[in-house]
């Protein structure tokens, strides 16, 4: 009988932990910065720094996505935002950022457009020259991990080139 309360506490703790987003760990932050700055250096824009405030914004949105039955949609905050979803245990924060960075192949700098039927806005946000900060969080839901990264100042202004 005395084990029942402990088991219930473990179940409640486990459920509540899985119900909220998680800010990036120190190792993940290092990887987030390394991969962002790799793509930024490739086009000659300055390094980006990590922001705990933006990470908290990302964490709140990741938690909200979980509450909305694992939705995959952008928030309506005033920051730039990239989202990535992939299988838990297979994709790292670095993989998410490189997936966005690999959209470079879809971006035509001279025309400042994405190639027809292609996505490139995640890439242009990563390399947006005026962006100086990033903060990220993740949420685990239905066997997938969703990464949310927020950027300040935001990028992707219509008619402006990223660099």
Q: Indicate the class that CATH gives domain 21-152.
A: alpha beta
pLDDT of residue 20: 80
What is the residue extent of each domain of the chain?
A: 21-152
pLDDT in tens, 99-144: 999 999 999 999 999 999 999 999 999 999 999 999 999 999 999 9
Residue 48 has pLDDT above 50, yes or no: yes
Structure tokens at 147: 């990464």
Which ranges constitute the DSSP H helices of the chain? Answer: 3-18, 26-42, 52-67, 93-101, 121-126
Distances (CA, A) of 3 to 6, 8, 9, 88, 156: 5, 9, 10, 31, 55
The burial of 36, by beta-carbon neighbours within 10 Å (0-12 exposed, 13-18 middle, 19 or more buried), is given as: buried
pLDDT in tens, 57-77: 999 999 999 999 898 999 999
Percent of the chain with pLDDT over 90: 85
């Amino acid at each position: 009988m005395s084990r029942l309360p402990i088991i219930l506490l473990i179940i409640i703790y486990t459920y509540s932990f899985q119900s909220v987003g998680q800010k990036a760990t120190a190792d993940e932050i290092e990887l987030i910065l390394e991969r962002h700055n790799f793509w930024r250096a490739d086009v000659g824009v300055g390094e980006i720094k990590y922001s705990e405030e933006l990470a908290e914004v990302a964490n709140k949105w990741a938690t909200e996505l979980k509450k909305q039955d694992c939705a995959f949609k952008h928030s309506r905050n005033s920051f730039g935002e990239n989202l990535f979803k992939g299988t838990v245990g297979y994709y790292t924060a670095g993989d998410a950022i490189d997936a966005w960075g690999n959209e470079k192949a879809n971006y035509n700098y001279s025309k400042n457009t994405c190639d027809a039927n292609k996505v490139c806005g995640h890439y242009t946000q990563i390399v947006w020259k005026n962006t100086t900060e990033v903060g990220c969080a993740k949420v685990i839901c239905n066997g997938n991990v969703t990464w949310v990264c927020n950027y300040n100042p935001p990028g992707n202004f219509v008619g402006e080139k990223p660099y």
